[in-house]
Amino acid sequence: MLERALTHRSYAPEHNERLEFLGDSVLGCVIAKHLYDAFPQLSEGELSRLRSNLVKEETLVTFAQQLKLGSLLRLGEGERKSGGFRRPSILADAMEALFGAILLDGGYAEAEKAVLGLFVPYLQKVDIHTLGKDAKTLLQEYLQGKRIPLPTYTIIATGGLAHEQSFQVECAIPKLKISTRGEGSSRRSAEQQAAQAAYQQLARTS
Amino acid sequence: MLERALTHRSYAPEHNERLEFLGDSVLGCVIAKHLYDAFPQLSEGELSRLRSNLVKEETLVTFAQQLKLGSLLRLGEGERKSGGFRRPSILADAMEALFGAILLDGGYAEAEKAVLGLFVPYLQKVDIHTLGKDAKTLLQEYLQGKRIPLPTYTIIATGGLAHEQSFQVECAIPKLKISTRGEGSSRRSAEQQAAQAAYQQLARTS
């Protein structure tokens, strides 16, 4: 089952996709139970946000790298030559398939142990109150907590052709004499960049 | 925990939403494992389709009705008076919360037993090959299996005002001398209706 979990579909018909389906499910359940127990004060919505920001490709890739899974993957020739052993989606899928294989081999309790063995140390390093929130939300929550009027976002400049437009946005918080700028290919992303800059400025001064 | 699982947020601050989060997760995991074992020939994509069409509000409401959960719900006055004990979302949420409570009380094995006790008999009554597929897909797969040219869909009439348009579509399978009609508020739904009628006609004659 370990071999199967590390076999990409490009290598053989006995690949890891079904195990990945299983592993994704057991992972979701183990993390839900852990968060439920660890954070009795969090609402259902906050638990969901936390979980979806923990159980994602990026995190799984980190674990796959810790375990040096890349060098153990069984990939078809094409994937091997094009660096498939470093591709995030392939690493994350193999990681999930591994959890699925442990569930089949050792039952739920063993799968739980394996998942928590990786996730609990990781959870201790992240800030659960900010995890997965975007910069505009973080900034807004910070200001509301201090009863400071919310920032205003203003488009300062736009440029580029229709399919590669660029936006410059200013984020202003007059009360704190803060004014930052952000740039992006959409108004939304420019606002996020500007909010990010303002939030970092606040973090440095508070 | 049973009381908590049956308590809607309109009734008390100690309501069932966190348990529902937990129950949804354990339900997903138990069903994934069951489908994995029961259908070794199905691909990851087919397992996902099956699961999402099993674990949905409609199914959970059926179980809640079997268990007569409605009369046991603890609802705030407003919800009680407006018939909240019959509302599908409230029933389905309570059903999930119940699975969550069993997980906390008895551990994974007990939750698995409770979930499968309800789902396995239900699974025996559904056709896993058609579950969750729309009528156009079913019709297409049936015809492809018999190497019959695919149906053509033609708009026959449109009517109504902009915000309440109606479409009439014909589904024709010349090789089988089949021609059916469907009506809907969008072209898509009219096509599905027409496909549904053709599929039923085929089922009757084959």
Domain end residue (candidates: B125, B156, B177): B125
A194's CB contacts (< 8 A; 6+ apart) are A153, A169, A170, A171, A180, A181, A182
Which amino acids of B are annotated catalytic?
24, 96
Would you say residue B130 lies in a domain? Answer: no
- Establish if B113 touches chain A: CB-CB under 8 angstroms: no
- Same domain as A26, residue A59: yes
Q: Read off the pLDDT of residues B152-185 as tens digits, 9 standing for 90 and up.
A: 999 999 888 767 789 999 999 999 999 999 999 8
pLDDT for position B165: 85
pLDDT for res B206: 66
Most confident of A25-34, A132-141, B133-142: A25-34
* Contact flag B29-A33 (C-beta cutoff 8 Å): no
Last residue of a domain, one of A75, A95, A125: A125
Give the residue-averaged pLDDT of A57-75: 95
Q: Do A33 and B20 touch (CB under 8 A)?
A: no
Show which of B72, B102, B125 is a domain's final residue: B125
CB-based contact, B22 to chain A, within 8 Å? yes
As a whole number, mean pLDDT of residues A98-119 equals: 97
Q: Does B43 touch chain A (CB under 8 A)?
A: yes
Residue A130 located in a structural domain: no
Percent of the residues in chain A that have a pLDDT greater than 90, as a whole number:
80
Query: Which residue in the list A58, A77, A79, A96 is annotated as catalytic?
Result: A96
Q: What is the pLDDT of residue A159?
A: 85
Do residues A109 and A176 share a domain? no
Give the pLDDT mean for A51-78: 95
Contact between B50 and B35 (Cβ < 8 Å): yes
Q: Does one domain contain both B37 and B114?
A: yes
Q: What backbone phi and psi angles, to 5 degrees, belong to B155?
A: -75, 125
A179 and A200, same domain (yes or no): yes
Asked if residue B108 and residue B154 are part of one domain, the reply reads: no
At A165 the pLDDT is 85
CATH classification of the domain holding A192: 3.30.160.20
Q: Is residue A22 within 8 angstroms of chain B, CB to CB?
A: yes
Instruction: Give yes or no for a contact between A73 and A2, defined as CB atoms under 8 angstroms apart.
Output: no
Q: Which domain holds residue A180?
A: 135-205
In this prediction, residue B128 carries a pLDDT of: 77
Give B47→chain A minimum CA distance, Å: 8
Q: Give me the residue label for tokens 């079913």.
A: B138
- Residue B76 in any domain: the answer is yes
Name the percent of chain B lying above pLDDT 90.
80
**Which residues face B167 on adjacent strands?**
B158, B184
For residues A103 and A180, state if they share a domain. Answer: no
State chain A's mean pLDDT as an integer.
93
pLDDT digits (tens, 9 = 90+) for B105-129: 999 999 999 999 999 999 988 887 7
Q: What is the mean pLDDT of residues A44-48?
A: 94
Higher pLDDT, B195 or A128: B195
Q: What percent of chain B has pLDDT over 70?
A: 99
Chain A residues whose CB is inside 8 A of the B116 CB are: none
User: What CATH number is given to the structural domain containing A121?
Assistant: 1.10.1520.10
Model pLDDT, residue B111: 98
Computed from CA positions of residues B90, A131, A142, A179, in that sequence, does the dihedral angle turn out positive or negative?
negative
Say if A28 is an interface residue toward chain B (CB within 8 Å).
yes
Domain count of chain A? 2
pLDDT beyond 90 at A15:
yes
A108 and A141 share a domain? no
Contacts of B104 (CB under 8 A, 6+ apart): B1, B19, B22
Residue the block writes with tokens 């190497």:
B147
Mutate to test the interface with A, among B4, B27, B33, B54 (most CBs of A within 10 A): B33
Find residue A179's DSSP bridge partners: A172
Confirm whether A57 is domain-assigned: yes
Pair of tokens at residue A154: 């203003």
Identity of the residue in A29, A33, A43 whose CB atom sits nearest the CB atom of B28: A29
Q: Based on the domain organization, do A67 and A155 belong to the same domain?
A: no
Please answer yes or no on whether B18 and A28 come within 8 Å at the CB atom. Answer: no
**Does residue A83 share a domain with residue A168?**
no
Do A34 and A121 fall within a single domain?
yes
If asked whether residues A63 and A112 sit together in one domain, one would say yes
Residues A147 and A78 in one domain: no
Give the highest mean pLDDT range of B27-31, B53-57, B142-146. B27-31
Question: Rounded to whole angstroms, how far apart are CA atoms B34 and B74?
Answer: 32
- When mean pLDDT is compared across A92-96, A124-128, B70-74, the lowest value belongs to A124-128
Q: What pLDDT is attached to residue A206?
A: 66
